[in-house]
Structure 1
């Protein structure tokens, strides 16, 4: 399946699941409150499939799968026969109407919990939260290669994804954060990253880079690719050799070779380059030679390139038993809600870019395809995050959204009478303008992402 078709398919799957549960929340509570539901539609526009249920509800799958709706009996929308007045939505007590409206977002939050529980039980493949390289702020804090990050602040980090998210949030808040790490000898210690020193120009996309931390799985392996004829490595190293040390300096990744070779050249004379070849450990004597690089500069080097390798295999799994996964899923749902709310706050305060906060359908489709390609557990994780996002967006106090209707009913509950038709009509126009602006921003961000 092509990337385009895959992105389109998985976005439709994601939206179909989330919208169905959202609308089912409204439908289920409306029925429990005695409201007659006329139509339950997934999607908008021309119906592709229709069925009339025994309950009198018309079930529809429509052509545009970018939403859905539940149409209820309501005197404000159509004539209601006298014998059905008690089943009309507008005739129900305000608290019941509020419950029906709030049921959609509540269903999405419940779905997020179920998806996260399933993800934890199935097991999400990931990378171990092991540091491959520490420079800058991380090195000053005493962190070093091989340290395993056990927790960032209060957030436990069983995998690198949890560690990366927690570190990104800490950088955005520009607050020092404590890292509990496990050393190579098994001992544990706590190190504090001085993230209040991160420049204000660093955005969320470069947050991890600003800490000076590079994950072990992100390092380019120090594997020898091609060797330049006549260079220091010619006739000494072979393609596929893994360099482990240069002049007693440990090499964790290919990017560590250049500075180690430069230090050896500055000392003068030959040095020992330690390698692994066909399961054997060898120490070979080499003398760096001056090399002309593509930018025209001359620097000491060995004359080798990095061997092209595929992405490393995952070496950790986030998995919990079915019973223990229940409270864990509750905590994770709460964490996602809190992070999304705080991220909106950061967007308003300017701490994060709106360009990277508001995503349109193209970005969502690409993300859906990417997460689906990683496996079932990753896609469930993505669906859960999207479900929480849908719930919170719908709870915004914007007319035409569930949150706007809840605001109307809250005013009615306090004042004892509903808002006037003119006030509600004005609110609807304002809501439509706000939604149109938000959609415009989302599409604009999509275009920017495609161009970049």
Structure 2
């Protein structure tokens, strides 16, 4: 499956699962509070599939998959016969209305915990945080040495590269130096302070690249040769050390990969200098343009280097549940912290991602296996829960704000105020969506 089709497919799977679960929360609590549900829709617009149940509820899947809704019997949308008033939404107590509205985000939180729990039991393949820094980069100047193992980032213990980057990206949202604790190749431990405050203001991904920190690349020694691919046809063998690409020196396997992309863009025919059994030689290899595991197309020659040290997260049911609660709490505080930093101007709005970014990450996570896709679903579900709880009219948080005001003043918010709030909420929501879409397109153009 091509990266584009894979991104579209896994985006639909993600939204289908999370939207259904969110709306089911509203539906389930509404029914238990005695409110009649007229329609349960996954998606907006023209129905693609529709079925009316015996209780009169209409279930449908609509053409626009960017959300969903539960339509309840509501006096604000038309006259309700006296015989049906007992099942009408606005006639219920304010506490029941709060419960119905809050149920969607709460169900997203429940889904987050369950998805993290399943992820930790299935296992999430990862690599150890053994790092290096680009020569002359801020990370190298700060004191990061090749082969350093990250033990903690900003006071948080880390055991995998993904854990380390999660904490580091959170630090890159602000402008405070980020302390890390590392163990060197000689076994000694030391503290290093990464000068985040000196990086250009912008999105965390761009700042991370500027920082110059990355996994340590294995040496440019071939570990595997794919049969039938250009390298095999040219006569390359496992154990060969690659020394040059078109005469340019190769330091490690990452450097070799970058040189292949740069040189093949000019001409796919490459001259690879190798060392075999102490003897140097040069072999001609013609790179091919292809996609691997749903990734964007790039130049490939069909070889792999030594694998990185594996660090898989996998626990038993009890430990997995404890870790899922911790991950949910950590993710929530990080997300709220990011929102706070953006509102205060400490973090760039360029960190906001939209549906294109979500689709790309969904495809990448799915191609990495079930554990990674469960991790992705958990994070998106948590984001949906937090987003929907923001006090913005048209979102669940906006309705909750109205009901809290009603509790204080003893009467519902006026219809005029609610209509004005709807316009403000829609304006904010469309502005946010437009900004996210712009950021996604800009990232695609830059990359």
Q: Which runs of 5+ in 2 are unaligned?
A: 223-235, 244-248, 257-273, 281-300
Superposed counterparts of 1:58-207, under 5 Å: 58-133=58-133, 137-139=138-140, 142-184=143-185, 186=187, 189-195=189-195, 198-201=198-201, 203-207=203-207
Task: State the 1:221 CA deviation.
Answer: 3.2
What displacement does 1:380 show?
Answer: 1.1
Distance 1:202 1:103, change over 3 A: closer
Of 319-328 and 177-186, the range deviating more from structure 2: 177-186
DSSP 3-state at the match of 1:382? helix
Q: Deviations over 1:367-423 (max 9, x none)?
A: 211111111111111111111111111112111111111111111111001111111
Q: Which runs of 5+ in 1 are unaligned?
A: 225-237, 246-250, 259-275, 286-305
Cα distance change of structure 1 residues 412 and 174 upon mapping to structure 2, 3 Å threshold: same
Q: 1:204 offset after TM fit, Å?
A: 1.6
1:423 aligns with 2:382: no
Is the partner of 1:148 in helix, strand or coil?
strand
Change (3 A) 1:62 1:139: closer
- 2:430 aligns with 436
1:345 offset after TM fit, Å?
2.4
Structure 1 residues 310, 68: closer, same or farther in 2, change over 3 A?
farther
Tell me what 1:365 maps to.
359
Measure, in 1, the Cα distance between the counterparts of 2:11 and 2:329.
24
Partner secondary structure for residue 125 of structure 1 = coil
Cα distance per residue 1:205-239 (max 9 Å; x no partner)? 243345453312xx263349xxxxxxxxxxxxx98
- Asked if 2 retains the 8 angstrom alpha-carbon contact of 1:167 and 1:207, the reply is no
CA distance in 1, matches of 2:406, 2:212: 54
SS at match of 1:342: helix
Equivalent in the alignment of 2:316: 321
4+ aligned runs moved over 6 Å, structure 1: 238-245, 255-258, 282-285
Q: Secondary structure at the match of 1:398?
A: coil
Please give the secondary structure, in 1, of the residue aligned with 2:71.
Answer: strand
- Does the aligned pair in 2 maintain the 1:112–1:387 contact within 8 Å? yes
CA-CA distance at 1:100 after TM superposition: 0.7
Quote the residue 2:379 is aligned against: 385
> Quick check: 2:115–2:375 contact (8 Å CA) kept in 1?
yes
Q: How does 1:184-263 map to 2 (within 5 A)?
A: 184=185, 186=187, 189-195=189-195, 198-201=198-201, 203-216=203-216, 219=217, 221-223=219-221, 253-254=251-252
Deviation for aligned residue 1:310: 6.8
CA distance in 2, matches of 1:193, 1:378: 30
Q: TM-score with structure 1 length normalisation?
A: 0.77
Compared CA separation, residues 335 and 79, structure 1 to 2 (3 A): same
- After TM superposition, give the deviation of residue 325 of structure 1 in Å: 0.9
Distance in 1 (CA, whole Å) between partners of 2:201 and 2:47 is 50
TM-fit CA distance, 1:118 = 1.0
